[in-house]
Amino acid sequence: MLYTSVNNDKIKEIKKLQEKKYRDKQNLFLIEGRHLVLEAYKTGSIKELILEQDEIFPLDLPTLYVTNDIINNLSLLETPSNVMAVCHKLPTSEEVGNRILILDGIQDPGNLGTIIRSAVAFNIDTIILSDDTVDVYNPKVIRASQGMIFHINILRKNLEEYIPLLKKQGYPILGTKVTHGNSLKTLEKLSQFAIIMGNEGNGIKDTVSLMCDKFIYIDMNAVCESLNVGVAASIILYQLDK
């Protein structure tokens, strides 16, 4: 069936997935682009494939064919893709593994997506998001993750309640600061840890900081005061994976 009107009820329901409240209500989210669709397909996350009419993308999935006008209506990109998909929100597990990344108040979708990508690259088992961290299903987060959102366990927790539970289970809680604490270069090899990265402007909240067992920082040229949180997280996760 070919959908030709942006006012079709089915198309309007898909369009609503651009908004967080509808993603939460429907437990669905929208992705666009061949690469993201293929990453979602690998994990069985796709509910429906959306293709511009005459587009060939041979996946064994329920498929909606739509006009170029509908593609442009659904897309958030300057250059819309003719391949999209509606996906189920991802399953999560309370079995968090040994290597945990905690994100406290990350606000920029691009930063969160970059961190997710690096977390997968450097073998983090689970990412814990604070209640005030940006929505992981924000389209910019998904694009910046390059589809790695489909390959890692991500939970959202109240950190003041959750971190003490990790401490009881024996996880060392590592905080990050710009200059104080232990140099990342001197950090011993850890088989189990929870590392916390803080908000872009304010760092880790005081209430969270008080629960840290140790702080680490990245040695760098004194001319540079700080690094983007996505860059800093990538460096730290690389070192922890060595």
Percentage of the chain modeled with pLDDT above 70: 100
Domains 2-88 and 99-240 share a fold: no
Determine the pLDDT at residue 1.
Answer: 82
103-141 pLDDT per residue, tens: 999 999 999 999 999 999 999 999 999 999 999 999 999
pTM of the entire structure? 0.95
Q: What is residue 214's predicted lDDT score, i.e. its pLDDT?
A: 94
Region 30-54: mean pLDDT is 97
Q: What is the mean pLDDT of residues 47-70?
A: 96
Quick one: pLDDT band at residue 222, thresholds 50, 70, 90?
Answer: confident
The pLDDT assigned to 242 comes to 84
Is the pLDDT score of 227 beyond 90? no
How would DSSP label each residue in 165-227? Answer: HHHHTT--EEEE-SSSSEEGGGPPP-SSEEEEEEBTTTBS-HHHHTT-SEEEE----TT----
Q: Retrieve residue 56's tokens.
A: 């060939």
pLDDT value for 201: 87
At residue 229, the pLDDT reads 94
Task: Kindly state the average pLDDT of the residues 29-42.
Answer: 97
Would the pLDDT of 226 be above 90? no
pLDDT at 238 over 90: yes
In the predicted model, what is the mean pLDDT of residues 229-238? 95
CATH topology of domain 99-240: Alpha/beta knot (3.40.1280)
Lowest mean pLDDT among 23-27, 52-56, 182-186: 182-186
Predicted pLDDT at 181: 83
Return the domain boundaries, the chain. 2-88, 99-240
The pLDDT score that the predictor gives to residue 51 is 98
Residue pLDDT, tens place only, 137-192: 999 999 999 999 999 999 999 999 999 999 999 999 999 987 778 899 888 889 99
> Which of 17-26, 54-63, 68-77, 221-230 has the weakest average pLDDT?
221-230
Architecture of the CATH domain 2-88? 2-Layer Sandwich (3.30)
Q: How high is the pLDDT of residue 83?
A: 98
